[in-house]
Structure formats: structure tokens, C-alpha cells
Structure 1
Amino acid sequence: SQRDTTRREHLADIQQEFGFLAFNTSIYKQLSKWLLPFAISSDQGMALVGALIDEMRFRKIIIPAISTVERLAWEVRHRAQK
């Protein structure tokens, strides 16, 4: 729809203007590596999600849907438990 196109264009403009990065597979992998030591020392799922959101803000990454952030935290937590 036209509204979706406009929204994507505005998001691209904001990204470029303020230097934000789009969340993608490469960033997913970077954050996964970054979170692993934290996940090894903490079993608190919500703390992991909070840490991820804080780190994405710090790195100026556009935060994806919360379900994506939760899935990343859960996958890293699962790996840390192994």
C-alpha cells in the first residue's frame, strides 16, 4: 500500500540522517556473540532481552519486533545452557 511505502521511505530517511542501522542477519550474529557471555552468567530471559535492547540503542540499531528480540535472547540463552 501507499502508506507502507511512505513509512519505509521515512524510516530510510531517518536511518540515513541519524546514522541508524537496519537490523539484519549480520547484526543478529554480532549481537548473538555479544550476548553469549551475559547469557552464560544469567538465566534471566527478560534481563537478556533488556540487555539486547540497551545494546541496540547504544549501537544505533533500529530495534526489530519484540518477538525477534525475544527469539534472539532465547536462542542465545539455549546455547549458553548447553
Structure 2
Amino acid sequence: MAADSVWRQEGESLVRDYEFDDFAAAMGYVNRVADAAEEANHHPDILVHGWNKVRLTLTTHDDGGLTEKDHAMAERIDAILGTSP
């Protein structure tokens, strides 16, 4: 698995891209992120593209943009694979 070195801000969102060894690994990661998001009640936009790439986008729609909730969820997501910068 390869990941961007850090989350990047795009407008009012945090974005991070990942590339996995295969489709199964990408989907396994997406499922772990989904479980963490459901537990935190803060859900990223998840894009699975190609056969092994995942893009996660965090923003707090209810508050009109980027908030501490997004930063906290980014840290939680990083902990899933131990990818903190």
C-alpha cells in the first residue's frame, strides 16, 4: 500500500489518496474506514477508482466546510493503517 505523505487541503476539504496492491486490499481498507466512520458518526466521501486506488475526502457539510471533526477523523483514519505523517 502506498499513500500520499499527508492529507492535503482542497478548498473546504481534506483529501488523501491511497494505492493498494490489489482490489481486495483496497476494499478491505474501505470497509475498515466505513466502520470507523460509522462509529464516529462522521463519514468521508469515498472514491474507489482504477482497481486498487482509494481517495478519501473529509468535510463537515452541516457546518459548511472544514472543521475539527474532519481533522479528528483524518487522525482516526491514519491510525487504521498506521500512516500518520
Q: Which has the larger radius of gyration?
A: 1
Structure 2 length as normaliser, TM-score? 0.32
Name the structure with the higher strand share: 2
Structure 1 length as normaliser, TM-score? 0.33
Q: Compare relative contact order (CA 8 Å, sep 6+) and give the higher one, 1 or 2.
A: 1
